[in-house]
Structure 1
């Protein structure tokens, strides 16, 4: 039996990292990228209320909606009720703002943005589930779902509570497949258990899998020197079953050409190619990093409420992939409400509770020095 989005090509254009000129979107280059994407047979575009402070949705209107018949493409956007909305009316207005900015008339896929942790409760408090169900009933939304950043057990509870959600968007890539903090595989399996089709985000792990350490990169280049590291990551994600599409945030024509070349005649990974990816996973696991399993025992008694596992996750982005910008971005997001590494008072309660015997105080000092801006 067919599922929602089964016929959509398995590469989606993520409009989060558009080409910029200073603080403004390079709209002419964006138009070229949109044209190329559509010419090569791809149709799914993904934006969000908050991307580029709203400029992403505006660019979607100018580069896509105003220039092509509405039935030519699918447009997705997202509502982040937790991002500054003080009440239900302000949260609901995010939907109307997105509709106005994009000029789309309706959204093919609409998402409650970034469920997980304390953020999910905001959607409950403001009645956003029912509000969006009403917009779907009125034809302003074709398919309603949510994006998610949390553990698989939490995803299971959300889907049990909201079985009417038609799809989920998950962070899945080969580096995070068995990650104890991201739980890509486990989240994928939960979505499949609930028969929800999946949109994949971060298949290249925020760019980290495009510039691998030499020991890992050489495994791929030895196997096939003609294809990019990114193409391995995107094909790995796209080879999973039950997908609507795999999103890639592209900033240049070159990035788009590379993605299109590997996806326009897409073939799932062969058994031999899966062995190659497994070898790279092994290399990455062997690179020294902070051995945090995200058990969270350390945070239970922390008087400063420092978000230790999240800080270590950001640090490992640097330690394993040398992606300092990505590590800083992750750190800024995780500590946006406090709990920074520099706030540690060295009481030692975290180290006494850590089953991995991590020198948490010393690692937090390193993180504060490296990642705090």
Structure 2
């Protein structure tokens, strides 16, 4: 198993990390304990030593399951990561209460990698308002957490502000070969590298969107190596960056575990020809974009409350990947009144759009495509 050294804190992690938000589930939606236990056991036996979960994964069941699943393994043989849901805190002291609850759920005396979960501009304001970092430092002194970092979901300028605030032990960003200019993106990766802050990557296969394409597109990968899986190229893409210390994969079957371990057991960065194929795939996907919205926001505010840029962003991604799973979370995150079906075609937004987009014509298409086309 490929290992990477986090020089600033002096530990060595497996390049493949086990993300625990997509365990197989039973018919009633609960974690399938037997299958998931076998997957965890196999991964640890093959050298995976980074296990990542969070307070709300599997509706709070993930941490509790891991507390049982990891009990039979030597606590020194793996690093355990979980996250603080900043958005549920009502005061400063609730931080300690949540951490104590997580320690109990996880059946452990300490958490190795502790993250402020899914930081954005608003959540960062909460962190500062309640001085949460000082509480985490107290918990570190008490031996209950070891390393302090954050996971991130917002624009680059917010990332720049947060990562420059202190000397973080690590940070976690979304990165894959399609999202190099979104959120922190590749620019954020290089900033972290320059600051000497190790990077952990989430969504390297973009929630499965980069796991399989059309037969014609899949054939481009198979021509390179008929035995290599298509997701392995996405994993190797981010794993080839030297300051990426862990690539998280939310594995949901033993087949996925085995395939990912195969990729990282004899890890090799992408070759020139492989990078060329990925660039071809990028161009094909980007060619499916439905309009030229840049997200500038000049069209806002909409008098009906429609979030025009966000609707277009999601719509374009839906057509790019042709999978509802690729937009499921972001579409759910758009408020009911902010969705495209509330557009009344008043065209006030079109007068302000620098791209001259026919917004009044595209909005009905957004609603129809997402709710009726239903690519799986």
Q: TM-score with structure 1 length normalisation?
A: 0.91
Q: Residues 119 and 253 of structure 1: is their aligned pair in 2 closer, same or farther, counting only changes over 3 Å? A: same
Q: Residues 273 and 336 of structure 1: is their aligned pair in 2 closer, same or farther, counting only changes over 3 Å? A: same
- In the other structure, the counterpart of 1:54 is 60
- In the other structure, the counterpart of 1:222 is 223
Structure 1 residue 351 corresponds to structure 2 residue 345: no
- In the other structure, the counterpart of 1:318 is 318
Report if the CA contact (8 A) 1:43-1:74 is conserved: yes
- In the other structure, the counterpart of 2:211 is 210
Distance 1:111 1:230 in 2: 26
Q: Residues 343 and 32 of structure 1: is their aligned pair in 2 closer, same or farther, counting only changes over 3 Å? A: same
Residue 51 of structure 1, CA deviation: 0.8
Residue 371 of structure 1, CA deviation: 4.1
Aligned equivalent of 1:88, options 89, 92, 116: 92
Structure 1 residue 174 corresponds to structure 2 residue 174: no
Calculate the aligned-residue CA RMSD, in Å.
Answer: 2.2
Structure 1 residue 77 corresponds to structure 2 residue 82: yes
Residue 213 of structure 1, CA deviation: 3.5
Of 36-45 and 322-331, deviating more is 322-331
Report if the CA contact (8 A) 1:317-1:324 is conserved: no
Report if the CA contact (8 A) 1:215-1:283 is conserved: no
Aligned equivalent of 1:119, options 118, 123, 126: 123
SS in 1 for 2:292: coil
Residue 142 of structure 1, CA deviation: 1.0
- In the other structure, the counterpart of 1:283 is 284
Structure 1 residue 19 corresponds to structure 2 residue 18: no
The within-5 A match list for 1:186-265 is: 186-265=187-266
Distance 2:276 2:25 in 1: 38
SS in 1 for 2:12: coil
Distance 1:350 1:92 in 2: 47
Q: Residues 214 and 164 of structure 1: is their aligned pair in 2 closer, same or farther, counting only changes over 3 Å? A: same
Distance 2:314 2:239 in 1: 26
Query: What CA deviation, in whole Å up to 9, does each residue of 1:101-143 have, x standing for no partner?
Result: 1112111100000111322212222222221122122221111
Residue 273 of structure 1, CA deviation: 2.1
Query: What CA deviation, in whole Å up to 9, does each residue of 1:54-108 have, x standing for no partner?
Result: 10111111112x11111011110011111x3333344543222211111121111
SS in 2 for 1:42: coil
Between Structure 1 and Structure 2, how many residues are aligned? 366
Distance 1:29 1:88 in 2: 39
Q: Residues 337 and 169 of structure 1: is their aligned pair in 2 closer, same or farther, counting only changes over 3 Å? A: farther
Structure 1 residue 141 corresponds to structure 2 residue 142: no
Q: Residues 137 and 116 of structure 1: is their aligned pair in 2 closer, same or farther, counting only changes over 3 Å? A: same
Q: Residues 87 and 327 of structure 1: is their aligned pair in 2 closer, same or farther, counting only changes over 3 Å? A: same
Structure 1 residue 165 corresponds to structure 2 residue 168: yes
Query: What CA deviation, in whole Å up to 9, does each residue of 1:242-293 have, x standing for no partner?
Result: 1220000000011111111111111111233222222222222222433332
Q: Which runs of 5+ in 2 are unaligned?
A: 1-5
Distance 2:195 2:96 in 1: 28
Query: What CA deviation, in whole Å up to 9, does each residue of 1:290-346 have, x standing for no partner?
Result: 3332222233x323443333332322332011111332332102x258622233343
Residue 354 of structure 1, CA deviation: 2.4
Q: Which runs of 5+ in 1 are unaligned?
A: none
Report if the CA contact (8 A) 1:200-1:245 is conserved: yes
Q: TM-score with structure 2 length normalisation?
A: 0.90
